[in-house]
Amino acid sequence: FQSRPSSNPDRTSVDEIVGRRRMRRNRKSDWARRMVRENTLTVDDLIWPLFVIAGSNVRQPVASMPGVERLSIDEIRRDAARAAELGIPAVAVFPYTDPALRDATGSEALNANNLVCQACRAIREETGDIGIMTDVALDPYTSHGHDGLMSGEEILNDETVDQLVTQALVQAEAGTDIIGPSDMMDGRIGAIREGLDNGGYRNVQIMSYTAKYASAFYGPFRDAVGTNATLIGDKRTYQMDPANTDEAIREAELDVAEGADMIMVKPGMPYLDIIRRLKDAFAMPTFAYQVSGEFAMIAAAGQNGWIDHDRAMLESLMAFKRAGADGILTYFAPMVAEKLKA
């Protein structure tokens, strides 16, 4: 850059202010920017959440998540195969349970032939080397939409944990690779680890929803799995208060001590500070969940032409890498994978 004399002789020149340090030199062209780039986003960073529903030949759009569909088992095979083809390392499966099968104790969660278990077997059969992650929590199966068993208004902790262990074993039997406890009950990671080890599933990993906040950003997901209709009250007695950060450290201490292989922060973009703190404090494989509401905001604004959809998508994901995340659960996964390939 040429240094020109200041147009105003009374003003200190920029040269005098910056000396020899001009930050824009390293930004002068694409190659220069690429050369100094600190973080990269690759297909290996992605986990693709999929919604499964009963039936066959079903691809049912989720209204609040443009481009996302509930898939029957035959269709989930196709998407899992697409994930494998794109090089996405893992998919995560979430069920839309028929309301007639939901009850107060979420008993369908323990059915070895429930949708999630069917999906695990189908995906395993369809694809070779792809990771399968399954959620452990009762909310898609309960008539009240809570993640645990209830007594009156109370969400019971220890009784719920017992059932979550069984749910995890049922999923392990169906072939899941990664158990993702998203329930936020105390002590569940240790109990599930013990259950898996005793059941002969020593190699099944646990990605703990370590810092899961009581968030408004889960709305579209609850549409997708049908719990907006069922949920009574809110989840604030078990999910974290959005005002807290030290508490996330204490949650992570417990999860790591109890045997979590990977930890996760959820939601993602509003909680980048938490990702950074946990990564720095624990040096664990640390994941972000870019949740349904985050996806919906970018998708909707993109559809309206209010933001550049693809740029906002990539920028939001790069933010997780910058914050220290090793990977991201994101509904954008296939779009990003296509884009990174191009």
Question: What's CA 204's distance to the chain center, in Å?
Answer: 18
Q: Is 135 in the site for ligand PBG (CB under 6 A)?
A: yes
The number of CA neighbours under 13 Å toward the Cβ of 214 is 13
235, 266, 279, 321: the catalytic one is 266
Q: Is 235 a catalytic residue?
A: no
Span near ligand PBG by CB under 6 A; candidates 72-80, 131-139, 165-173, 303-311: 131-139
If one asks whether residue 147 binds ligand PBG (CB under 6 A), the answer comes out as yes
Q: Which stretch binds ligand PBG (CB under 6 A): 135-143, 254-262, 268-276, 306-314?
A: 135-143
Give residue number: closest CB to ligand PBG: 221
Active site residue 341: no
Separation CA 206–CA 215 (nearest Å): 23
Look up residue 130 and give its two tokens: 């792809």
Near ligand PBG in 214-253, by CB under 6 A: 218, 221-222
Catalytic residue among 212, 235, 279, 321: 212
Task: State in angstroms the smallest separation of the CB of 321 from ligand PBG.
Answer: 19
The answer to whether 109 contacts ligand PBG (rule: CB under 6 A) is: no
The correct pick among 73, 83, 137, 328 for binding ligand PBG (CB under 6 A) is 137
What is the C-alpha end-to-end distance of the chain, expressed in Å? 33
List the x/- string, 171-210, binding to ligand PBG by CB under 6 A: -----------x----------------------------
User: Does 79 sit near ligand PBG (CB under 6 A)?
Assistant: no
What distance in Å separates the CA atoms of residue 236 and residue 240, rounded to the nearest whole number? 7
The residue (of 32 and 104) whose beta carbon lies closer to ligand PBG is 104
Contact 41, 310 (CB under 8 A): no
Cis before residue 267, ω within 30 degrees of 0?
yes
- Amino acid making up residue 151: S
Q: Which of 79, 139, 223, 251 binds ligand PBG (CB under 6 A)?
A: 139
* Structure tokens belonging to residue 273: 């500070």
* Token pair of 251 as six digits: 């949650």
Residue among 291, 298, 328, 333 that touches ligand PBG (CB under 6 A) = 291
Give the helix/strand (H/E) hosting 160: helix 157-174
Percent helix / strand / coil, the chain, rounded to 5: 45, 20, 35
Q: Which is nearest to 167 in space by CA: 180, 154, 156?
A: 180
Tell me the catalytic residues.
212, 266
Residue ranges in contact with ligand PBG by CB under 6 A: 135, 137, 139, 147, 182, 218, 221-222, 291-292
